[in-house]
Amino acid sequence: MSRIERFHGTAADGTALTVVYAEQADARVAFALVLAGDALPRLVHWGRPLAAPETLLDAYDALKPQRVSGALDETAWPSILPTQSEAWIGDERLTVRRGGVELFCRFAVTDIRIALAERDAIDVAQAADAPESTPAEARVAVPGASVETPVVTVVAEDTEQGVGLEWTAELLHGGLIRQRAVVRDLAAGVAPLEIGKVELGFPLPALASEILTTTGHHLRERSPQRQPLTVGRFEKVAMAGRPDFDASLLLTAGTPGFGFEHGEAYSVHVGWSGNSVLSAERQPYTTGLIGGGEVLMGGEITLSAGTATDSYTTPWVYGSYGDGLNEIAARFHTRLRDLHPELVAKPRPIILNTWEAVYFQHDFDTLKALADKAVESGVERFVVDDGWFGSRRDDTSGLGDWHIAKEVWPDGDRSLKALADYVHAKGMEFGLWFEPEMVNPDSDLYRAHPDWVLKPTAGRLPMQGRSQQVLDLTNLDAYAYLYGAMDALVGELGIDYIKWDHNKLVTEAVSPRTGRPAVHEQTLAVYRIFRDLRAAHPGLEIESCSSGGGRVDLGILEFASRIWVSDCVDPVERADIQRYTSLLVPPAMMGEHVGASPAHSTHRATSQELRMAMAFFGHMGVEWNLLKEPQEALDKLGAWFAEFKRHRAWFAVDTCVHADAADPAVRVDGMVKPDRSAAFYRFTQLTTGQTYPAAPIRVPGLDPDGVYRIQPLYLDLDLETPGLGNGQSPLGWWTADGVLATGRALETYGLRPPSLHPAQAVLFTAIRER
């Protein structure tokens, strides 16, 4: 149930008050704003729904800080966009200039609008009901429910300086709050208005004094890091034209020690694929703020009143509240399922990607044989990676020449079209790799159009990466060439799936067309190609890959059906890469592949069972040359694929949970049905543990009052062998019968897992019996 209400009253000092209260009861979340006089609104509640929201009329008096010595006459109490006019002396949240001169705005509210907007949402109760035998082409959009979304819009102006502001907040299905602002130039006949910064935020309770972010690099994305939120400013800035590997998908502040299962916490995310910032800030005079926004270069956004460019719209800044990170993540997952009904309308096809199988060594006979092995193992989507076009025999040339290389794929029965037709005839979908935003200087495209790349001056290119430069998609001719080439190939080859890569950091990104920085417009152009290709080719799915996991955000995920989590498919590394990626992205949208051993990226040798178990909950696939593997390995792979297919429809809508564990050597991850009638769990022993044998593990996400039978998943397990082959004594419950336990017992003391050697994992199920 959704609601939004408005209440009016008067403060103790006579100030006229308006309170706006919005609630999503099913998601157990609400927020409230208080507007005093004509001042910008302040967020005075963000958490569980309130039984008597009209009492928030007293929140202004209850929360307003008193004047203190040595400061201004009013102590800072941040609004939704604090400025110095309301005593904010922290880092600037709004920077605007005319003729290079800073403007100090004081906005007066002129209008407040509230509404319940209709939005489509996935009905998870029936999302997985379509039988597995339903043909893919028949699995169109899953019928959803129309959900009412509370929306509040506040319009304000600084009349003297000619600056307008329109701020909107929505409380989405699932409980996310998102906010954005539109800044307008209202002053005609004067210097244009330059936008330097618009950073939106959410206030924090005083107890939210610890922050969690992630860091990383190529092959080790999203490694967690924690620290106290002290007085001052903490920020994570992404300045590579994409979020990049070091980006923190979420910035989370919570009570000290918060984890996946417990602890009040508040997270923010900027839904933008260009340059951005996430920040947390405390001052001695006021409450803390977390938030973020787009980072703009000088001259990148300039507004002129009365023209088509009289306004700038910020990206959406999302906020998620919860008791523990599992609840916070579930809100983001609901949003992405609502955006992508194909995730549940069509079971995620098992993928084979050819990159680590053949790299650039494309050959019709080899790939045809690989397709045969793939389909025999249960693969349903065959993706040809880099190397099929132009002079692209390695990564130094040909990028941007989007025509099929005839010397590799000659016309006739050995063409790329012939391979695509063969793959389709085998009952598989056909996918193809592109890196549309990039170009090699050693390419026909660059030689013909050297002005089609982003560069700081006419005579100097940015530093290269992987022998690449960035194509200027704000140039309409370059955009038309790229879209036309991709559109034609999708039609000609019957492409079902595009692996869209992005391998170069976008630096010194100035468009020769305008002479101005262009990351903002470049990002919008990328979104437009994604959107237009999908509109022109219904059913086409596109993966966002960026040297692996370098572009993961809710901006690109409005259009992409999947992300490539990391170029590292080593399952030991993937344990945490996937875990912390799932704070934002549901596993059904995460490419999780079974690779070779030793892993190409780390040279670590691991068991096939660990590699398959680590890929089991996500969008499962293969990054492996099956032509070089013994039949025993292929049979084992086929058995796991068959098991995955039996459950993947539910995995698409299941609640993803992670357990908190005292031992840093173990991980417990799970997928729980929406009605909590059943769940899958994975126990992973990454290294030797602090306890021997392994200590009992908590099993989260189940109905506390339900009774569940806990059983091992039988794949590849010899239940007659004591200790699972580790030479240990038998584990009593690890049998076909398992054990019975209540959900409350499982989330409190848990159960004893098998004692495993390092780099091993096992799967078990929880089935509700009453």
Could you give the count of Cα atoms lying within 13 Å of 74 in the half-sphere of its Cβ? 10
State the Rg of the chain over Cα: 27
Specify whether 451 is catalytic: no
Specify whether 567 is catalytic: yes
DSSP H helices in 398-453: 416-425, 444-448
For residue 326, what are the β-bridge partners? Answer: none
C-alpha–C-alpha distance, residues 429 and 413, integer Å: 19
CB crowding 136-164: b at 16 or more within 10 Å, else e: beebeebebeebbbbbbebbbbbeebbbb
Does residue 727 contact residue 675 with C-beta atoms inside 8 Å? no
Amino acid at 516: R
Distance of CA 104 to the CA centre of its chain: 35
The token duo for 303 is 């507004």
Amino acid at 717: L
C-alpha–C-alpha distance, residues 686 and 670, integer Å: 16
CB crowding 475-484: b at 16 or more within 10 Å, else e: beebbebbbe
Does residue 570 contact residue 576 with C-beta atoms inside 8 Å? no
Does residue 15 contact residue 57 with C-beta atoms inside 8 Å? no
Q: How far is CA 536 from CA 16, 259, 529, in A?
A: 52, 44, 10
Does residue 444 contact residue 390 with C-beta atoms inside 8 Å? yes
Q: Which of 244, 246, 567, 576 is catalytic?
A: 567
The token duo for 615 is 């890929």
| Straight-line distance from the first to the last Cα atom of the chain, in angstroms, rounded to the nearest whole number | 28
The token duo for 637 is 């792979």
For residue 429, what are the β-bridge partners? Answer: 381
C-alpha–C-alpha distance, residues 160 and 575, integer Å: 56
- List the Cα angle 293/296/300 in 5-degree steps: 140
For residue 389, what are the β-bridge partners? Answer: 404
Q: Which of 501, 576, 660, 669 is catalytic?
A: 501
> In a 3-state reduction of DSSP, which class is residue 19?
strand
DSSP symbol at 148 = E
As a 3-state breakdown, the chain gives helix, strand, coil percent values, each rounded to 5, of: 20, 35, 45
Q: How far is CA 283 from CA 77, 245, 288, 347, in A?
A: 11, 30, 7, 49
C-alpha–C-alpha distance, residues 325 and 743, integer Å: 19
Cite the active site residues: 501, 567
